[in-house]
Chain A
């Protein structure tokens, strides 16, 4: 395996997506700044619809997936996401859902521009710069089930392959197995984290209920110091209700969303492997066709039909060229897939590290708050006489 030196272009391209506003449908304003010379200006802001993001993905996927690139997928249209588990009352307009979608779109766009090849794509430039985007069509296919179906198309065709690919490089086979195993684990984790979010929200509500009943108990207690301590306890439990709520949000935004992103991304990874298989298949088919043409030529020589011979010879030349071309394509796509996977894994390590740190820091903050609250309460409890 060749170690490819990655020249990291030191450039700046800060993208963020802020406050969506409802103008007919949701428009997302994405201000960003850049030092890259290829953009017209240093800072600019554009408005995009959710369907524009989906349209961008479609364009990029059509162009680059066949060449083995891992094209980052956008978030789903549906509320349910991929686990089909309803966590509490959520609707299209809930603040939580809006925020979740905004953050997901931001991450999506950031992944696209951080991809060195995709950044060069004129469609990406247009998306970032153009004032008015024409409505993207054919994004119906990208809603809910249709979306997942498209991503999983790769795996469907993969499993339907009856011809076992003569794998010259075991790296690809091993990698694909790794990807599939990881996909399973991440899906399992995602379901568990969703369950956790639900239980934490429940805990928050029940803590609030408990806080109120402790307050009531305190007010009926006839020992003054105990009564005061109980009402202080009620306040602490009230603050815990808030803490649990915040923690549930962190579970969801840091953890669950990270997992969801990577489950989708792994789908794109499998798609690129599938493309490589397809190019291999095309090469094999071409080789078979060439063989057939050669047999035809041989038959014609035997049968001594000189008039058809020229056609046969032309066919052979044509297919020889195709075989050469398709072999080159296969090699090129293989190299791209390999490079892409390495890039993806590096990005993934970075991403996970960042999010895990963020998640741990949120847990850390919770503990610090807890310490504060209980330290304030302890003297009240000790004062009971």
Chain B
């Protein structure tokens, strides 16, 4: 399955920095070369090309499922060594429920519509299913590419196992107890997060980033949900128009009276106009916003980890002072303080670069998508205009 245009868009949207070209980095290239959608799971074929000595071969493929991607992501998050990096957000779970439901409903309602209407609706729902499928493949691919492009994460052992080990990784999904533990961890984290966020940072850069990210994340969240809502209405209207166009077409083909001719004529542009625009908006704006919602959360998580490290460092300082005052366990306190200091400084250093890269990525991605959105809207509007003008011309000329 060669990377189709829609995926290419999503893929290149995530370039970490403008001058790093993922495609020409011969040392490690990862992509999803194939995918299979089964009843309740999707099987991704992860294809790797690498000149690195770590791997047994230069080119190989394995089959992975969504849970294994999550395992890999979580292993990064839980790794203390990576505390100073923005961990590429995990791809969302493949969700075909809505699409499957629609296809099922269509099957049930087959008797109540004409053969043409049924075929047409079926084609559309299948196209919708395919679009969702392509998008989930793209999201999983983007995650792997971001990891492969990251100077540190690409060397991760788990990542190499993920790419190369051709058996099932046996990562089962989290059971109920583990999910509860995660839940509480997050609750504590956010309470902590508030605490940590409250401490004013000495470093202006981080202080600014903190304020910025908190607000930005919330606004991206709002924009993302509003764009979803808008797109849903657009889709509803487009569905109506398609149904109307079909009915007009049926009416128009019943016989060759003038009125029927007019019905046929008007059904043509109607069919073209709305559905395309809804699909493209979806791709550009909504996906962009959704992705940056997750990225900005990952950036916030980085700030939180740094904040935690800062608190630990400050606590270690206080402990050292206390130890010196009591002259008890001073060496231990000194070592502990040094460890905390190093950890904090290490995180701060990489975090600064990560946040700068994040900004660059974000601006580049928005630019690319906004330009493409505008160009697409113009292309469609101009096409529609032509079609409408010719229809009106035919109608007016027909005396």
Contacts and interface: CB of A to CB of B under 8 A. Distances in A.
Interface stretch (A24-32, A107-115, A322-330, A359-367): A359-367
Given A189-B244, A199-B236, A384-B370, A367 B388 contact: yes
Contact of B363 (A188, A199, A349, A384): A384
A141 interface: no
B220 A363 contact: no
Given A196-B241, A207-B230, A357 B370 contact: no
B247 A185 contact: yes
Contacts of B269: 360, 363
B215 A220 contact: yes
A304 B363 CA distance: 115
B219 A381 contact: no
For the residues of B in contact with A, the DSSP-based class is helix
Given A189-B244, A213-B222, A199 B389 contact: no
Contacts of B250: 185
Contacts, number: 154
A209 B230 contact: yes
Interface in A162-191: 181-182, 185, 188-189
A375 B375 CA distance: 8
Contacts of A44: none
Interface residues on chain B, size class: 35 or more
Contacts of A193: 240, 244
Contact of B226 (A199, A213, A220, A221): A213
A206 B219 contact: no
A192 B240 contact: yes
Interface in A332-378: 345, 348-349, 352-353, 356-357, 359-361, 363-364, 367-368, 370-371, 374-375, 377-378
A353 to B, nearest CB: 6
A359 B215 CA distance: 44
B359 A223 contact: yes
A203 B222 CA distance: 17
Interface in B242-297: 243-244, 247-248, 250-251, 254, 257-259, 262-263, 265-266, 269, 273
Contacts of A189: 244, 247-248, 251
Contacts of B241: 196
Interface stretch (B2-10, B33-41, B157-165, B376-384): B376-384
Interface string B366-378: 1100110111011
B381 A374 contact: yes
B248 A357 contact: no
Contacts of A196: 237, 240-241, 244
Interface centre among A181, A230, A356, A360 (most CB of B within 10 A): A360
Contacts of B243: 192
Interface residues of A, number: 55
A220 B362 CA distance: 13
B214 to A, nearest CB: 10
Given A210-B226, A360-B395, A220 B216 contact: yes
Given A181-B254, A185-B247, A360-B392, 10 more contacts: A195-B240, A213-B223, A222-B359, A345-B257, A345-B259, A364-B389, A367-B381, A371-B385, A374-B374, A381-B373
**Which 8 residue pairs spanning A and B have beta carbons closest together?**
A203-B233, A384-B367, A196-B240, A381-B370, A199-B237, A349-B258, A206-B230, A370-B381
30 contacts: A199-B237, A210-B226, A210-B229, A210-B230, A213-B223, A216-B219, A217-B223, A226-B363, A229-B366, A229-B367, A230-B366, A233-B370, A345-B257, A353-B395, A356-B265, A356-B266, A360-B391, A361-B392, A363-B384, A364-B389, A367-B381, A367-B384, A368-B381, A368-B385, A370-B381, A371-B381, A377-B374, A378-B375, A382-B367, A384-B363
